A and B are shown apart, each in its own frame.
Chain A
Amino acid sequence: MKARVTVTLKQGVLDPQGKAIEGGLKSLGIEGIGAVRQGKVFDIEVESADKAKAESVLRDACERLLANTVIENYRIELAE
């Protein structure tokens, strides 16, 4: 089963890279950009075909490695 895990910085955590990207977009003259926050996307092939099982494996992966929950949130999406 294919899955996508998205890791983003928690609200309130400063994101200097996002700020720099925001500045870069503005200096390109791209109008209408508000704020930019940078995150990470992981496309993961899960062995289990069972949705609940796959989700629990991915949750474990997020908690133990993919995200640092001091500063990051994660979201798990499973392909239909």
Chain B
Amino acid sequence: MKAAVITFPGSNRDGDVARALRQAGATVVSAWHADHDLPAGTDLAVLPGGFSYGDYLRCGAIASRAPIMDAVRAHAARGGLVLGICNGFQILCESGLLPGVLMRNADLHFICRRQHLKVARADTAFTNRYHVGQVIDVCIAHGEGNYVCDEATLHELESEGRVAFRYCDAAGNVSRAANPNGSLNDIAGVFSEDLNVLGMMPHPENLIDELVGGTDGRGLFESLAAA
């Protein structure tokens, strides 16, 4: 597994996601937003968290028009894997690789804390080390994570099983009370139609070491490393 972590001006979680991938056994290379091609042999393109272009205009809007994104779109169209975390998820939505948009959190607060997620499917390249219904403890750190799409798209996502994770409480109850940001149907992450693109607001790369309080994020990177 060769993963290319793309850095945009304002990305700040590129180092962490690279570390998580390496720990899981992946080979990690760097890519720059102004590049026109992904490094040769890239299996997985990673759009890390951060504040690309200072969140100017709309979160992810300007990054989604960067030269490297044409290469990411072509990679996805060939069936290549793409992972977007937090700002990376926002970039994927803005680029049209995933439907919908991440709007301002319903309560307007930037929320930075631990958050439980329920794994919605475990038969994908991203989640095969988890099991369906598993509750994982990761982190969230965002001001714009309120997933919104039109009703037809929501129906499509739900009926095609394209929700990857939902916000839940420690006991695994998915509810409005456990939803930190107002996301439709408590959605924390979504897949593309062919399940080769995943966008998620939470940060699994934060929870890969007992030293920082948990390792529930490892499953995602171990799934990918084995893909």
A40, closest chain B residue (CB): B57
Contact across chains for A65 and B57 when beta carbons are under 8 A apart = yes
Known A-B contacts A13-B148, A16-B108, A20-B108; the reply to A66 vs B57 at CB < 8 A is yes
Residues of B within 8 A of A (CB): 57-58, 61-62, 65, 94, 99-101, 103-108, 146, 148-150, 182
Contact across chains for B107 and A70 when beta carbons are under 8 A apart = no
Known A-B contacts A14-B103, A16-B104, A16-B107; the reply to A70 vs B61 at CB < 8 A is no
Contact of A68 among B62, B94, B104 (CB under 8 A): B94
Asked whether A17 is an interface residue with its Cβ less than 8 Å from the other chain, the reply is: yes
Interface size of A as a range: 10 to 19
- Give the complex CA separation of A64 and B57 in angstroms: 12
- Chain A residues contacting B65 (CB-CB under 8 Å) are 64-65
Contact across chains for A65 and B61 when beta carbons are under 8 A apart = yes
Contact across chains for A17 and B104 when beta carbons are under 8 A apart = yes
Asked whether A71 is an interface residue with its Cβ less than 8 Å from the other chain, the reply is: yes
Can you list 24 pairs linking A and B with CB atoms under 8 Å apart? A13-B103, A14-B103, A14-B106, A14-B148, A14-B182, A16-B103, A16-B105, A16-B106, A16-B107, A16-B108, A16-B146, A16-B182, A17-B104, A65-B57, A65-B61, A66-B57, A68-B58, A68-B94, A70-B99, A70-B100, A70-B101, A70-B150, A71-B103, A71-B148
- Chain A residues contacting B182 (CB-CB under 8 Å) are 14, 16
Interface of B, secondary structure class, is: loop
B106, closest chain A residue (CB): A16
- The total of interchain contacts (Cβ-Cβ below 8 angstroms) comes to 36
Contact pattern, A 53-80, Cβ under 8 Å of B = 1, otherwise 0: 0000000000011101011000000000
Those of A3-39 within 8 Å (CB) of chain B: 13-14, 16-17, 20
- Chain B residues contacting A65 (CB-CB under 8 Å) are 57, 61-62, 65
Contact across chains for A68 and B101 when beta carbons are under 8 A apart = yes
B93 to chain A, nearest CB (A): 8
- Give the complex CA separation of A16 and B183 in angstroms: 13
A21 to chain B, nearest CB (A): 10
- Chain A residues contacting B146 (CB-CB under 8 Å) are 16
A10, closest chain B residue (CB): B150
- Give the complex CA separation of A53 and B61 in angstroms: 25
B62, closest chain A residue (CB): A65
Interface centre among A13, A14, A16, A64 (most CB of B within 10 A): A16
- Chain A residues contacting B148 (CB-CB under 8 Å) are 13-14, 70-71
Known A-B contacts A16-B104, A16-B107, A16-B108; the reply to A68 vs B149 at CB < 8 A is no
